[in-house]
Amino acid sequence: MAPFIREAKNHPRFDFTIIHTKQHFDDNMSGVFFEELGIPNPDISFTPGGERHTEKIALMFDKMKDVFKQNKFDAIVVFGDVNSTLAGALAAVKHNCRLVHIEAGLRSHDRRMPEEINRVIVDHLSHLHFVTEQSGVDNLKREGVKDKKIHLVGNIMIESIEIFRDKIEASTVLQGLKLKPKGYILATIHRQENTDSPEAIKNIFNILADLAQAYSVIIPLHPGTKNKIQEYGLEKLLDNLIVVGPMGYFDFLKLAKESLGVVTDSGGIQEETSHLGVPCCTLRDNTERPITCELGSNKLFSINQTTSSELINHLEKRDFKSKNIPLWDDQVSHRIFEVLESWDI
């Protein structure tokens, strides 16, 4: 969102209201990013609560219902594939607002993933689709979305890296954690289909524990993952890992950039590492970001069949292709606004 809001200042035709659902209730997973990335304080924010996936979406939608009744928006812009994205999309359509989806068209073709359901629904409700890579264009066309709605503009998350590269480089997080460049592996684990399964999360942390025999392994532990580890009684699997809390954007990207490589089940980190030229091991059977695998920077590993030595082999080889992907630059938001400026709303 940060590059989009930054570019919006150059387009006074548009008056934006920022709605923050506080999907991430932990301030280290939310507020810190507003502060670091210079995003203005939200005009409207609420804490919907809820425990289950569907309950959270329903409560967010219910809160937005009142917001949309009180404000006459012409359109709503949603980002990514999270619960907030779907709730915002449903609220927009329910109140006859045009819907713009940034990061449209990505598909893992795995309906077990809540994010995949969100992506598909939002894309088929949207009036404009801004796409990060060619596979997204192909997916949308295959699903019957009209060509005039689809715009390949590049990756807005990569634009963030380019905008804030100096601040990322200036981070002193390595010194604070006493880590040496290329002497450690960075890990992130948070995906619901992994953390909701005691067997899956045990397999993953056993793999990380094995990796820690060869390299220091640092993991900024997601609050949800931490709760599940405690619930399943698996705290001992953390003993040989460097466990830290969620961290800011600049520190995290600095850790990723200087690492030997990253082990993750995330989506966006696959893209960030590919752009930074860092090898990534994705603990999943599929990815909605195939360009990262085509480059070779990212490789998929099944959590049920993978050994730590296979991961290390990929991380140490570092034999992937150029990290320069078309349209993954600092002009993504500019291209988005070129379309919005000519859009009749």
CATH number at residue 200: 3.40.50.2000
For 51-87, give the DSSP string. Answer: SSHHHHHHHHHHHHHHHHHH---SEEEEETTSHHHHH
Residue 104: closest CA among 83, 71, 82, 79: 79
Q: What pLDDT is stored for residue 34 in this prediction?
A: 84
The answer on pLDDT for 36 being more than 70 is yes
The answer to whether residue 334 is catalytic is: no
- Percent share of the chain, pLDDT over 70: 97
Same domain assignment for residues 84 and 188: no
What amino acid is encoded at 223 in this protein? Answer: P
Asked if residue 39 lies in contact with residue 31, where contact means CB atoms within 8 angstroms, the answer is: no
The answer on pLDDT for 27 being more than 60 is no
Q: What pLDDT is stored for residue 56 in this prediction?
A: 86
Containing H/E element for 128?
Answer: strand 128-131
> 86: Cβ–Cβ under 8 A, 6 or more apart, which residues?
57, 117, 118, 121, 122
Asked if residue 226 lies in contact with residue 246, where contact means CB atoms within 8 angstroms, the answer is: no
What pLDDT band is residue 35 in, cutting at 50, 70 and 90? confident
Q: What pLDDT is stored for residue 324 in this prediction?
A: 80
Same domain assignment for residues 132 and 12: yes
Distance of CA 224 to the CA centre of its chain: 16
Tokens 């060619």 — which residue?
134
What pLDDT band is residue 54 in, cutting at 50, 70 and 90? confident
Chain segment 7-17, per-residue pLDDT in tens: 999 999 999 99
Q: What would the two tokens of residue 136 be? A: 């997204």
Same domain assignment for residues 231 and 335: no
Asked if residue 133 lies in contact with residue 291, where contact means CB atoms within 8 angstroms, the answer is: yes
Q: What pLDDT is stored for residue 322 in this prediction?
A: 67
Q: Can you tell me the mean pLDDT for 233-247?
A: 94
Q: What pLDDT is stored for residue 66 in this prediction?
A: 83
Q: Which residues of 281-316 are buried (b: 16+ CB within 10 A; e: fewer)?
A: bbbbeebbbbbbbbbebbbbbebeebebeebbebbe
- Cα 304 to Cα 231, 232, 250, distances in angstroms: 21, 18, 33
The answer on pLDDT for 260 being more than 90 is yes
What pLDDT band is residue 53 in, cutting at 50, 70 and 90? confident
Same domain assignment for residues 123 and 69: yes
Q: Determine the structural domain holding residue 35 and report its residue range.
A: 2-154+328-341
The answer on pLDDT for 302 being more than 70 is yes
- Dihedral sign for Cα atoms in the order 117, 119, 122, 123: negative
The answer on pLDDT for 278 being more than 80 is yes
Phi/psi for 306 (5° steps) reads -100, 145
Residue 161 resides in a domain: no
Chain segment 163-222, per-residue pLDDT in tens: 999 999 999 999 999 999 999 999 999 988 889 899 999 999 999 999 999 999 999 999
Q: What would the two tokens of residue 116 be? A: 């995949």
Residue 323 resides in a domain: no
Same domain assignment for residues 144 and 230: no
Overall domain count for the chain: 2
Asked if residue 118 lies in contact with residue 53, where contact means CB atoms within 8 angstroms, the answer is: no
Residue 245 resides in a domain: yes
Q: Which of 20, 24, 151, 190 is catalytic?
A: 190
Q: Can you tell me the mean pLDDT for 101-107?
A: 98
Q: What pLDDT is stored for residue 264 in this prediction?
A: 97
Q: What pLDDT is stored for residue 30 in this prediction?
A: 62
Rg (CA), the chain: 20
Same domain assignment for residues 135 and 191: no
Q: What pLDDT is stored for residue 65 in this prediction?
A: 83
Same domain assignment for residues 134 and 196: no
Same domain assignment for residues 198 and 86: no
Same domain assignment for residues 94 and 120: yes
